[in-house]
A = this chain, B = another copy of it.
């Protein structure tokens, strides 16, 4: 089953067609074959590599990070420790993000609740959410 079109490759890897082309021109894929008609031809190794990239991106790694990871897989002796350090650093970033998100949700929830009490029955002359967000008259 080698010899997939870009459409099939996209479907099997969970990318869009545009994204697959994008990864190629970012140099994340090894030389992609071409059919006599000029169309790209993908094999299973390409699909796996695409999935790998997609997975990393979903995990929040940048394209540059992925390039590094792929460099590690391509090298004969991957720098495992550097890769692990990258993962650990990324975990730290995620923890910070979660704390921020929790705080935001709290703020927004209380704003929405206040609003519910103040104007859910209709329109209040002044939106409490906007008030609470700190908008002072600026006329």
User: A134, B51: Cβ atoms under 8 Å?
Assistant: yes
Chain A: how many interface residues by the 8 Å CB criterion? 60
Q: A45-B137, A123-B81, A129-B87 are in contact. Are A104 and B115 (CB under 8 A)?
A: no
A35 within 8 A of B: no
A1 within 8 A of B: no
Determine which of B55, B77, B97, B128 lies in contact with A80 in the assembled complex, contact meaning CB atoms within 8 Å: B128
**Smallest beta-carbon distance A69→chain B, Å:** 6
Question: Scoring A residues 62 to 86 as 1 if CB is less than 8 Å from chain B, else 0, what string do you get?
Answer: 0000000110110001111101100
A27 within 8 A of B: no
**Interface of chain A residues 81 through 139 with chain B (CB within 8 A):** 81, 83-84, 87-88, 90-91, 94-95, 97-98, 101-102, 104-105, 107-109, 111-112, 115-116, 118-120, 123-130, 133-139
A-B contact pairs, 6 of them (CB 8 A): A58-B104, A72-B130, A73-B130, A77-B123, A81-B123, A91-B109
